Amino acid sequence: MSSKASGSGTIRISNMRFWGKHGANIGERNWAQAIDVDVEILIDLAPAALSDELSDSIDYSEVYSVCSQIVTQQSYTLLEAIADRIATALCQELKVIEVIVRVRKPRLLEGATPEVELRRINQKDE
């Protein structure tokens, strides 16, 4: 096995569940509901693979914290807005090349689960 690493890769954090007051229908924001979030973050994994240093990667706990804060501390009408705020926040990290955010309201529609997926390419100031 070579000790050389190269190229981009994906960090996924799946099945994060938070409770927030979100919704478009009357009364939905009166109580906290489950909101599930998945993120996929495309970055160059080579530096972290070679160094084995967290500073060369993305701290998973920080990603979780960003998602938690957006879902639990703010209120939105649409899942699209939640996904946008998470993507925008995660793209503040310069290592991020691209992010995909999925936001779900489990079992909202008589057992059906609506899900929104948003993809954002980081527009770094170069």
Separation of alpha carbons 120 and 87, rounded Å? 6
Q: Is 124 a catalytic residue?
A: no
- Dist CA 57 CA 73 (whole Å): 27
The Cα 91–Cα 46 span in angstroms is 19
What residues does 41 pair with on adjacent strands?
Answer: 11, 99
Which of 4, 95, 105, 124 is catalytic? The answer is 105
Q: Give catalytic residues, as residue numbers.
A: 105
